[in-house]
């Protein structure tokens, strides 16, 4: 767990080295490097081989990358300690986790949480404006950013920690998470927030000249967010 802070912080830059050929491989290898250096401190040749292994093509949903990083770090540490089967398992599990997490996390973060954050931002800004609060737009922006980024950062951090602690067992833990109920709940909350924002805009006489436009904009935004999963 001593490498947890480095893995977590570096996971935020997973996309920085993105390429069409290897996708997120460079960012993943760079994020994993502190764990590799710790595991192979006494074997420089093993470190070079491990770095090369993790430069192979890799791609997953960025918010879910922590679990893959932590799991790969745990298995590489076992391999460095003498478990010869851990390196092949790390490569196989890395690819399997990346593919399975990408679909579920795309639907959760892009298809549910992002529309929810946007809808909460709009509803909060309109409610603050109606109440006469200063800087209602700033309030909405802050709430929207928190609604998306707090869960996203928590998922990264918990994923890294679970992967480091459990190795392959982290995949079993992740598979048991109730992701589909979370997605449905977030989508329902987003629809309610959109309805609340539209109602606020419609009922406020200051928006009398643009009520239809506001309602249409909210409906269009909700529909397009729902379709993009």
Q: What angle do CA 117, 127, 116 make, to 5 degrees?
A: 15
pLDDT tens for 96-146 read 889 889 889 999 999 999 999 988 998 898 889 888 888 888 999 999 999
Q: Which residues contact 227 (CB under 8 A, 6 or more apart)?
A: none
Residue 56 φ/ψ region, left for φ over 0, alpha for ψ in the -120 to 50 degree band, beta for the rest: beta
Residue whose C-alpha is closest to residue 190's, from 133, 136, 228: 228
Tokens representing 190 are 């987003």
Strand (E) positions, 51-108? none
Contacts of 109 (CB under 8 A, 6+ apart): 61, 63, 148, 152
Total-model pTM? 0.85
Record the tokens describing residue 187, joined without a space. 């989508």
What's the token pair of residue 48?
A: 């070079």
Rg of the chain over Cα atoms, rounded to whole angstroms, equals 22
Distance in angstroms (rounded) separating the CA atoms of residues 91 and 76: 10
Instruction: List 19's β-bridge partners, or say none.
Output: 23
Report how far Cα 102 is from the mean position of its chain's Cα atoms. 10
Per-residue pLDDT of the chain in tens (229 residues, 90 and over written 9): 678 999 999 999 999 889 888 899 999 999 999 999 999 998 888 899 999 989 989 999 999 999 999 999 999 999 998 888 888 888 888 888 898 898 899 999 999 999 999 889 988 988 898 888 888 889 999 999 999 999 999 999 999 999 999 988 998 999 899 999 999 999 999 989 888 887 887 777 776 555 555 555 655 565 555 544 4
How does pLDDT run across 68-77, given as a tens digit for each residue?
999 999 999 9
Neighbour tally for 146: CB within 10 Å: 13
């Amino acid at each position: 767990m001593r490498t947890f802070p480095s893995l977590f912080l570096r996971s935020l830059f997973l996309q920085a080295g993105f390429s069409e050929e290897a996708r997120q491989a460079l960012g993943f290898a760079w994020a994993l490097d502190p764990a590799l250096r710790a595991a192979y401190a006494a074997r420089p040749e093993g470190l070079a081989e491990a770095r090369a292994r993790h430069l192979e093509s890799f791609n997953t949903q960025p918010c879910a990358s922590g679990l893959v990083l932590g799991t790969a770090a745990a298995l590489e540490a076992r391999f460095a300690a003498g478990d010869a089967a851990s390196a092949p398992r790390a490569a196989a599990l890395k690819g399997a986790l990346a593919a399975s997490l990408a679909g579920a996390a795309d639907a959760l973060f892009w298809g549910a949480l992002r529309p929810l954050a946007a809808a909460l931002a709009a509803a909060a800004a309109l409610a603050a404006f109606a109440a006469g609060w200063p800087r209602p737009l700033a309030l909405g922006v802050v709430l929207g950013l928190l609604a998306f980024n707090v869960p996203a950062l928590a998922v990264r951090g918990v994923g890294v920690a679970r992967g480091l602690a459990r190795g392959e067992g982290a995949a079993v833990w992740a598979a048991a998470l109730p992701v589909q109920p979370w997605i449905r709940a977030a989508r329902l909350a987003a629809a309610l927030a959109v309805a609340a924002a539209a109602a606020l805009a419609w009922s406020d006489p200051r928006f009398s000249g643009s009520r239809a436009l506001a309602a249409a904009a909210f409906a269009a935004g909700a529909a397009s967010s729902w379709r993009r999963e």
